[in-house]
Amino acid sequence: MGSLSLLGFLFGVLIMGSLSSSQAHKFLVGGKDGWVSNPSENYIHWAERNRFKVNDTLLFKYKKGSDSVLVVTKDQYNSCNTTSPKQSLTDGESVFKFDHSGPFYFISGTGDNCKKGQKLIIIVLAVRNKTSHSPPPSTAPVPEPPVSPSPTAETPASPPTTQPPVAKSPKGESPQPAGVNPSDMEPPATAPAPAKSSAPGFTGSVGLALGISIGVSVVLGSFAGMV
């Protein structure tokens, strides 16, 4: 409960502070001296000690009927020219409100009081927004990373097929491939030899038999004659 009360008190202080800061201020020109011909502090110095903004007001206090306040241009201010002022205040307690920012020029409307230093210049500050809407900073385009080519499996190139060198062979022989052992090669097929005629053998056998028969006959004949 105590914490809630403390939060409420702090919130109220913040609200009052923001209200007081946003309220316009009223400045008594010249301080305790007021609007006079011989002030104890120069009006220029007095203005430099304060800060003025739009909607603030100035209070000029002087003796009614014996002095006045004239709102003039810059040239009239520099020359203390009291003719044709922009505005004339004569009621003894004159209030002037700043309705815009920039410089404002005031002089006394009596005799030579302006030349004696009864003159005032106020610079009103420009209104500043609490929240400024600045455009977002421009961003440089982010460069896209270079796309590296995906590795592809390359098929190794097959070595070129080479024919084994053919060894030179002597005349009349067929060439043999190099690197082949001649002993591993099959010999060439030979044609079968022509069959020899059996006629001479047969003739010899017949003659032999015939000779034996004749011999036997001769032996038998000789044997029979002896008997």
pLDDT at 108: 96
Is the CB of residue 41 less than 8 Å from the CB of residue 31?
yes
Residue among 81, 91, 127, 120 at smallest CA distance from 103: 120
pLDDT at 224: 58
Beta strands in the chain, from DSSP E residues, in sequence order: 26-28, 52-53, 57-61, 69-72, 87-89, 93-97, 102-108, 119-125, 166-167, 176-177
Of the pLDDT bands very low, low, confident and very high (cuts 50, 70, 90), residue 165 is: low
pLDDT at 202: 47
- Residue 162 to residues 159, 165, 166, 185: CA-CA distances in angstroms? 9, 9, 12, 22
User: What would the mean pLDDT of 175-190 be, rounded to a whole number?
Assistant: 51
Cα–Cα distance measured from residue 135 to residue 139, given in angstroms and rounded to the nearest whole number:
12
Of the pLDDT bands very low, low, confident and very high (cuts 50, 70, 90), residue 127 is: confident
- Residue 212 to residues 202, 209, 220, 225: CA-CA distances in angstroms? 16, 5, 12, 20
Q: Is 131 exposed, middle or buried (0-12, 13-18, 19+ CB in 10 A)?
A: exposed
pTM of the model: 0.49
* Each residue's pLDDT tens digit, 29-61: 999 999 999 889 999 999 999 999 999 999 999
